[in-house]
Amino acid sequence: MAKIATNTNHVIVKSALCLLPPLLLTVAFYLHFQTQLSIFSPVCRCASQPAAGAGAVEDHVVDRLRASATFLPLKDTRQGAETWFLSTLNATAEPEGEARNLVFPSPASAGRLLCLAAPSRHDGARNAYALAWRDALPRGAALLPGLAFVSETAYDHTNIWHGLTSLVPFASWHARSGCRARPARWALFHHGEVRTEMSGWLAALAEAATGAAVAIETFDAPGPACFEEAAVFRANVAGMNKERILRAADFMRCRARAYCGVNASSKPGSGGDDSGLRVTLLFRTGARAFKDEAAVTRVFQKECRRVAGCDVAAAHANNLTFCDQVRLLSSTDVLISAHGAQMTNMLFMDRNSSVMEFYPLGWEQRAGGGQYVFQWMADWTGMRHEGSWWEPVGEPCPDNPDILDCWKDRQIGHNETYFAVWAARVFAAARERKRGNAVGDPAGGRSREATVCRCS
Ligand SMILES: *[C@@H]1O[C@H](CO)[C@@H](O)[C@H](O)[C@H]1NC(C)=O
Ligand SMILES: *[C@@H]1O[C@H](CO)[C@@H](O)[C@H](O)[C@H]1NC(C)=O
Ligand SMILES: *[C@@H]1O[C@H](CO)[C@@H](O)[C@H](O)[C@H]1NC(C)=O
Ligand SMILES: *[C@@H]1O[C@H](CO)[C@@H](O)[C@H](O)[C@H]1NC(C)=O
Ligand SMILES: *[C@@H]1O[C@H](CO)[C@@H](O)[C@H](O)[C@H]1NC(C)=O
């Protein structure tokens, strides 16, 4: 259904584009004919300079069309943060339940392309956009070939978690195109300001998901840039329903595994040991690292030994490549990690895998809703967030009464009793679930999932 809708759109867009030159010609000839009739003597003038006359009038019309492209501020400060980007244009969710988007050229844009005059990296109100027909682009504009993914976010493309929320709708869009719509370029904005950086992890995931290396438009060339085609998402996943987010997460997981050559046939699914339990400690270095990694490792190893077929792996996120992370989490059933960006790797676990999260003192008391992002993410990606441990006590900072400021990036201690009881519960349940799956699906659902990514 989605595929058909997309194709139809393309056909309409193409027809609109094809109709444009004849339309312009008709207008030109009509004007020409009018001119002949009303002002000049039909016979002699016609004979004297027919082609030049038609060409001149046509040029004249094109000139008018060029001049009619009106540039408006990219960030409309009369609007709130959710609607100030391309504020005069309505985004639509097509099909229902997808993130709201704008497509150029399209019937809604009357076949016009999106042009951006965007030199400012500091003030979105100084950047501008206009719509223009391909054969009447504004003076001095460059036509950038291929499809552009235009992403406006109130957050940040260099932050892995926030960047992921802006990537999800594009990945879904790409999948719905039958995996044919590959971005030739990305145009990144924050509050209408040009951004030229994306975190390496996110760029690797974008490349894996869309099949095209990420090229970020810098808008350094003088004059406006008009995109041959553009898909714009300006509010991350806003409008996207749970089912479609889950489906997009499945797609990205599958594409990332394929991109990294994660081998389905070497998984336990085909080896008959699908009930084994793979526990991964993904450590941070510096801010929010565990004070005593060895002691933490011992607690979980001890609980793991009580579960048949259980195995603990430990790694530091900071010295793993993107594909190392995909590989490691692809073979993880329980992720144990302190609150932080490395947790976004939960995306690569099989669905229904478990996450255990840890915070320093202060977060529970003062960090507010934002500290639950990885609970939301578990929900989006089909994982089970098994709870969090907040460090309960600590010395106050003498010169900083704010408990969060004082503690948020400090190292995290541990409570052996608590960790052991918690781990025993999570490990036993996870193993039961896996065993249930293995019985119900002896071929291993995992191997099929990893070899066929749904491009539809
Ligand atoms: C956008 O949609 C709203 C509500 O559907 C409508 O009232 C408005 O006229 C539309 N604006 C444009 C520019 O199409
Ligand atoms: C996957 O595993 C099989 C068997 O172990 C091996 O023959 C094949 O080369 C592997 N493929 C990749 C991409 O690693
Ligand atoms: C990874 O990083 C940790 C901490 O920075 C370090 O102790 C460990 O030796 C590193 N491992 C490798 C394989 O580089
Ligand atoms: C996840 O677990 C639930 C039961 O807890 C089960 O109904 C569901 O089918 C599982 N999903 C997958 C994708 O394995
Ligand atoms: C450690 O956890 C146990 C079990 O929840 C609890 O009874 C105990 O008070 C905790 N110890 C410390 C020092 O917080």
Domains of the chain: 69-243 (no CATH), 268-438 (3.40.50.360)
Q: Which two tokens stand for residue 403?
A: 């408990």
- pLDDT digit string (tens) for 125-160? 999 999 999 999 999 999 999 999 999 999 999 999
pLDDT in tens, 23-57: 444 444 443 433 333 333 333 333 344 455 677 88
Q: Per residue in 417-437, pLDDT tens?
A: 999 999 999 999 999 999 887
Contacts of 93 (CB under 8 A, 6+ apart): 99, 100, 101, 239, 240
- 141 close to 222: Cβ distance less than 8 angstroms: no
Query: What local confidence, expressed as pLDDT, does residue 51 receive?
Result: 55
Task: Count Cα atoms within 13 angstroms, Cβ side, for 439.
Answer: 6
Inter-residue contact 127 to 192 (CB < 8 Å):
yes
Which amino acid is residue 183, in one-letter code? P
Contact call for residues 31 and 24 (beta carbons, < 8 A): no
* Single pTM value for the model: 0.83
Q: Which atom of ligand 3 is nearest to the CA of 315?
A: 1
Helix (H, G, I), strand (E, B) or coil at 332: coil
Give 90 Cα–ligand 1 centroid separation in angstroms. 6
Residue among 381, 385, 99 at smallest CA distance from 251: 381
**For the CA of 429, the nearest ligand:** 4
* Residue 405 amino acid letter: D
**Cβ of 451 less than 6 Å from ligand 2:** no
How far apart are the CA of 394 and the centre of ligand 5, in A? Answer: 14
Q: Could you check whether the bond before residue 105 is cis, i.e. omega within 30 degrees of 0?
A: yes
How far apart CA 194 and CA 125 sit, in angstroms, is 11
> What's the CA gap between 205 and 208, in Å, rounded?
5
Ligand number with the minimum distance to the CA of 314 = 3
Report the relative pairing of strands 384-390 and 72-73 from DSSP bridges: unpaired
CA angle 106, 109, 114 (to 5 degrees): 95
The ligand that comes nearest to the alpha carbon of residue 274 is 4
The residue to mutate among 246, 333, 349, 352, having the most atoms of ligand 4 within 8 angstroms of its beta carbon, is: 352
CA distances to 198, 380, 408 from 344, in Å: 15, 11, 19
pLDDT at 395: 77
Select the more confidently predicted residue: 405 or 155.
155
- Residue 233 DSSP SS3: strand
* Under 8 Å between Cβ of 134 and 16: no
Q: Stretch 390-414: mean pLDDT, rounded?
A: 84
Mean pLDDT over residues 412-416, rounded? 95
**3-state SS string for 69-103:** CCCEECECCCCCCCCCECCCCCCECCCCCCCCEEE
**DSSP annotation string for 340-366:** SGGGGGGGGSPTT-EEEEEE-TTHHHH
Whole-number Å distance, alpha carbon 264 to ligand 3 midpoint, is 28
**pLDDT, tens digit, for every residue of 56-91?**
888 888 888 998 899 999 999 888 767 889 999 989
Q: Hey, which of 90, 102, 106, 131 would you mutate to test ligand 1's pocket, going by the most ligand atoms within 8 Å of its Cβ?
A: 90
